[in-house]
Structure formats: C-alpha cells, structure tokens
Chains A and B, each alone.
Chain A
Amino acid sequence: MSSVSSSSPDSSEPSLAGPAPALFYVEDEDNDVFFLKRALGRAGVTVRLTSVTDGDKAIEYLSGRPPYEARELPRLVLLDLNLPARSGFEVLEWLRQQPGLSALPVVIFSSSGRPEDREKARRLGANDYMLKPASSAQFTALVTDLWTRWLSPEAGRVEPGKDQA
C-alpha cells in the first residue's frame, strides 16, 4: 500500500482553497500507478491519491478496519478488475452492499474490453468503465476527464452516479 499526495507544481486552479479531493486507486500493477501519478501531474490536477494492491486490502481500507482506522472516504474509487485475492468485481459487489458506502462513485479501470466485463460491471453498479490507455497522451486525457466528471468541486454538483458517456 502506498499513500501519495500528488500536487500540481503550478497551482493556478481556484478550487485549491479547500482540501484536495481524495482518490482511492485499487491496482496491483505498479507501472499503472506510476503512469496515473505522472498523468495527474501532467494534467495539472491535485488529488490526494491512495492506492492498494489487492481486493482484500481495498475492502479493509474502505471499511476502516486496522490498520486503516484513520482513513478518509474518497471522492472516487478507481478500480482495476484483475486483482490478487478478491477481484475488482467482488470489491464492487461488496461496496454496493455497505450502508455507508453504497453511494460511493466507482469507475472501473481495466485493460479488458470484453463486453461481458463491461456488462457485469454495469450490473454490479459501477458508475463508469474506462479502458487503460496505451499512450501517455491518452492517460493525461483520461485523468482530465476523471477530474471534470468526478473529482473537481464542480463535479459534485453534477449528478454523479449517472453514466454520462
């Protein structure tokens, strides 16, 4: 588990007045975490990123069990599907059954484009489904999209939880 605070070097955004929004990223691939962090920097958005590497840890974190008593509920959960231990689907299914967590926005972030996976994610209550991009330019574009739709203070006023694609 790694908890990283990523901040933009030139903070020209007016929304910086409040605390940066929290993003919880469940990903076993270090490279992808690295690419995301880099893309966040390149897109110039500031989030407090927390990432864990498997499904069990994700559930522990979100339910606030030790050692995550001090955890803060994220504004968005970015969830990979193919994880060690419990899979992304299981995490999603569990999440939607928790009274305090069921409304949490979840975006699936996977390298699988299979229609079956998309359909299953939609059925289990995922808010969006994004394919992992191949190039760094695409990564940056994706992060910008995430910011506008889910993370920015303005995004809260837009009805989250609806598929806006």
Chain B
Amino acid sequence: MNDIFAFLYRPRIAPRDGLSLLFFVALTALAAWLRLNAYGDRIITLSYGLPLLFCLWYPDRRLLWGLVGVSCLLATWKTFFQTPVIGVDVDISMWVIQLFNTFAIATVVHLVLDFLARLGAQKTLLEKINDKLVAREQEITRQNEELQTQAEELAQQNEEIQQQSEKVQHQSGELQVQSDELHALNIELGKRQALLETLLGAIQVTKQDQDLPDRICQALLTLFEGSASATAVLEKSSGKLLLQAHAGAVRPQRLSWEFAHSFASVVMTHDRTAFVADLQTRPDLIVPQPAIGAWRSVLSAPLRVNGSPIGSLEVYSDQPREWTTQEFKILEWVAAQCALIIEVRGLHTELRRANTDLDRAVRERTAELQEMVNELEYFSYTITHDLRSPLRAMHGFAEILTEELEPLLNEQSRLYLGRMTTSATRMDRLITDALSFSKVMRHEMDTTPQDPAALLIGMIESYPMFQPPRAFVRLEGAFPPILANEAGLTQCFSNLLGNAVKFVEKGRLPELTVRAEPRDGFVRIWFEDNGIGIAPDMQARVFVMFQRLTKEYEGTGIGLALVKKVAERMGGRVGVDSEPGRGSRFWVEFKSA
C-alpha cells in the first residue's frame, strides 16, 4: 500500500517534449490501427478513453488532451465514414456516448493528476517542514548535550570548591592550634622577659645588696607558677648552708642548716641540676623545710661563680612530683643568670671600691698639689717682696753714694758705682720677668673676642717710647677681632713692641709696621721692624727662656719666651722671619673671633 502510495505521491516531473511526442504518435497509431483496422466493425464503448489511462503513469497533460483530440477524431471518423461503408447505420447516440466517455475519463485523469500533483506539493512541503523539524531537533539535542556538559563541569567545580573549603577549614584549625601555642609561648616569654628585667634591674641596684636574691626568688616563683610553692637561694658558708633569700607563702623554719647532709651539697658536689620526686623516700637529706607543713619535692640547680658552685637555687613543691625537662631548663637558665649577676655584682663592688680608693687618692693628690701651688704662689710673692727690698736698698745706696761722694770720686769708682746700680736694676727686672712668666704658667687664660688694633693704639699712646721722636709705629690695614685673654694679649704686644724699638742700631729711628693677616680661622699679626735682625740659625733660640743673642742691648732673655708661652696658653702661636741687618718680622697668631 505504502509503495503504491509512495509511487502515487512521487513528485511528478514533467516528461520531456520529444518523449511525449513519441508516445503521442505511438499511441495515436496504435488507437487508429485498433479502431480502423483490427476492430473496424465493432463498437467498443470505452476504448476511446482507455489510452488516456496511460497518462496516469505518464503525467503529461498535453499528451492527455492530444489523445482526447485524436480519440474524438477517430470516433467521428469511424462513426461517420468507416461504418457506413460497411453497411452499418450511423448511430449518433453511440458517437455522443463515445465522446462523452472520452472526455469523462480525460477529466478524471486530469483531476487525478491534479490531485496527485497537489499531494506531491503537500508532501514536499511536509517533508521540508519535517526536515526543518529534524534540524531543529538535532539543534536542540546538541544544545542539550552542551548543557549537559556544562552541568557536569559545574558539578566538578563545585566538588573542587568543596574540597578546597574543607582544606581551608583544616588549615584554619591548624592555625588556631599554632596561634594557641604562640600565645602560650608569648606568655612564657613575657614571664622570662619580666624575670630578665628583674635580673638586669638587680645589677643596677647598687645600694640594696640584700635585695637582689629576693628579687630572683620572686621572679623564679612567677616562672614556676602553679607547679612550685616556694623558691630559695642557698649559699655555702663555713660548713653551713645559709638561706640568702626565699619566696613563697610560708617562711622557712630556720635560716641555716648543716651543709654536709643537705640536698644542696649533693647538687653542688655533682655540679648538676637534680630533683627528689618524693622527699619522704629520702629522710636522710636536709632540705630547708617551711615553718608550717612540709615540702614533698625539690628541684635544685647549682650556682656557679667563676666556674665553681657556691650555692644552689631551689624550687619546692608540697606535692610529690616528677619535674619536667622544661622546668629543669628554666631553673638552670635562671641559675646561670643569677650566678652571672652575683659575679658581676662582685666585680661591681670591687670596681666601686677601687674607684673610691682612686677618688680618694686623686683628691689627696689634688689637695697636695693645690697646697704646693699655694706655697709656690706665696713663695713668688715673698720673692717679689723680700728679695727685691734688699735690691732696692743696694740700688738706692749706690745712688746716694754717687750723689754724696761726687767730688771725691774718680772715673774708676764712678764706673763701679754705676755698674752696681745697673746690676741691681737688671736683677730687679729679672725677678719681675721671671715672676710674670711663672704666673702665666700657673693661671688660666680665659679667651674672649678682642680688638687688637684698639689695644695696640692704647699702648702706643700710653708709652712715649713708642711715639715720635723716639720711635715710629704704624698700624696698616684692617685688624679682625681675635680670641684672646686681654692681660695676656697686652703682655704679648708690649713685649713685641718693646723688642722692636729696642733692638735697633744706635742712632737709627726705630720704625715698626704692624698689620694683620687672616689665615684659615686664625689671624696672624705681623710686627715688621727695621732693627738689627736675627740670623736664621738663631731664630729658634729667641723664644727660649733666658736666651739672649747679644750683650749690647739690655734685657733679661725672658720677654719672647713669655710671648711664646702666653700665646700658646691662649691657643695661639708665635714665630719670626728675619735676616741680619734687614730687620725682623715677628708674628703672633690667634684664633679669629
């Protein structure tokens, strides 16, 4: 059925023109032959329409309607022209029936073809729709598959996230544990730091020596909080074990015990930390027991000073217990610190004693020196006064002799008397100069800003020996302020000016130029004279005490030595630049103010 239907509904393709013409001719020839020749005498009602049925198979409407035309022509020909010939009557009704049949069949075939064509178009349309639907379905399927894949991926990711979340949760837990541990360590560290601070603080406490072991015990008790009831520092002293300090609620029964049978002696002898878990098992060991109740367990560490044990640091518990490695470590650590502090304290005490001794020695020595200085000062004063009095008397009487014996004196005796007076004067000046020098050596020279030009002008104006016609002194250029002591500076300048006008060839007017030259934080003041000058190899000697280069000029040999000393005491320097016969250029240098 289906096949027939499929055959019928097969989309009809119009046959080619040539083929249709061929079929038309063949069928026309066949119908003509059958009607006119084979069955010329017979009337077959439906035969004209039969070839039309061929068109159901071969759907060409031109062929259909061509065959209708041929069939009509053949029926007409046979009815009206062939049969009468053979003697048959023309049957008009038959002809009409034949034509009607032909047209009826043709119309049916046409309608069938039309219907089939429409069916085919419908089918094509349906098929198209179907194709679209299939395509759509495939599309949807594909999308579905994709969605499925995505869903799977999402599920996988979800799972991974779940795993990571679990991991994070786990790590968080671990961190919490670590944090707790850190917190505990922190508390422990805090305790240790507090102890260390106490210990360090103890070093600095210098006056309360007794306080130190107490502080250590207290700190130790804090460290052993919860596991120990009391702590003590014990020290060995001439066969006895002395309680140096303790901390805890209950005071010890006594302050000293027999060293020989004490637990401390065991610890000290073996030089290592040890404990007794239950003291009731060792009644032979002496342990500093409290006034009320009894210790059941003890942990003890030796205190080593300079490498050898001198006592022990102990913690006690009122319950029998095993002491942990951690507690061992803490006690040993504190014992080490404690011993170190005791050692340092010892050194401190020694140092303090040495310092005190030294202080006293220095004070005594200073006092002695001060006394010596005072004596020296008094001695100087005495020299000024007592030594110079007879000199003045010598001088005075020599003068009186010269005056009163004038008529009786001859040349020679007048010369002798003259020598006496000049010698006495010279001696007097030596004494004064020497005193000035020693004074410079002894006294402090406070420096303040000074104006050298003002000082020089003042001196020149006060002394006729620096003024015309006896001398010509000139200040040249600017004088920057300097740091000096006024009295010292006056001494320097007066000596330099005095020297410049003194050491000049006889009969020559002393000329002196003073000028200042800034030199890198210092000011050098030059005194340039037209005097006799100094040979280069002698220049260093002019600043030496009592060193004189010539006997032709009066002098003590102290002046320039004094200048040098004074300048140096004020942080300055002095020097000379000279050639014999061409004058000298003395300079003195001070810090600029």
Contacts and interface: CB of A to CB of B under 8 A. Distances in A.
A111 B384 contact: yes
Given A111-B392, A135-B421, 10 more contacts: A29-B389, A31-B389, A31-B390, A82-B385, A82-B386, A111-B385, A111-B389, A114-B381, A132-B392, A134-B425
A136 B399 CA distance: 7
B389 A135 contact: no
B562 to A, nearest CB: 16
Contact of B396 (A82, A110, A112, A135): A135
Interface of A: 29, 31-32, 35, 38, 82, 110-114, 132, 134-136, 139
7 contacts: A31-B396, A31-B397, A111-B384, A111-B385, A112-B381, A134-B395, A135-B421
Nearest to A139: B396
Contacts of A139: 396
Contacts of B384: 111-112, 114
B428 interface: yes
Nearest to A30: B393
Interface residues of B, number: 19
Interface in B341-396: 381, 384-386, 388-390, 392-393, 395-396
Interface of B: 381, 384-386, 388-390, 392-393, 395-397, 399-400, 403, 421, 425, 428, 432
Q: Per DSSP, are chain A's interface residues mostly helix, strand or loop, or mixed?
A: loop
Given A111-B384, A112-B384, A112-B385, A135 B399 contact: yes
A52 to B, nearest CB: 17
Nearest to A116: B381
Return the 6 tightest CB-CB contacts between A and B, nearest first: A31-B393, A82-B385, A136-B399, A35-B396, A111-B388, A29-B389
A21 B180 CA distance: 111
A79 to B, nearest CB: 14
B360 to A, nearest CB: 32
A15 to B, nearest CB: 27
Contacts of A82: 385-386
Nearest to B439: A114
A132 B393 CA distance: 11
Nearest to A110: B385
Given A111-B384, A112-B384, A114-B384, A136 B389 contact: no
A35 to B, nearest CB: 5
A137 to B, nearest CB: 8
B289 to A, nearest CB: 77
A61 to B, nearest CB: 23
A123 B156 CA distance: 113
A98 to B, nearest CB: 27
A35 B389 CA distance: 12
Nearest to B400: A136
A43 to B, nearest CB: 14
Contacts of B432: 113
A32 B403 contact: no
Contacts of A31: 389-390, 392-393, 396-397
A35 B203 CA distance: 76
Nearest to A80: B385
Contacts of A134: 392, 395-396, 425, 428
A78 to B, nearest CB: 16
A143 to B, nearest CB: 14
B421 to A, nearest CB: 8
Contacts of B381: 112, 114
B35 to A, nearest CB: 186
Contact of A38 (B385, B388, B400, B421): B400
Residue of A82, A110, A139 most packed against chain B (CB within 10 A): A82
A32 B386 CA distance: 13
A135 B393 CA distance: 9
A114 B390 CA distance: 19
Contacts of A114: 381, 384
Contacts of A110: 385
Nearest to A29: B389
A104 B239 CA distance: 85
Contacts of B385: 82, 110-112
Nearest to A135: B399
Contacts of A29: 389, 393
B547 to A, nearest CB: 26
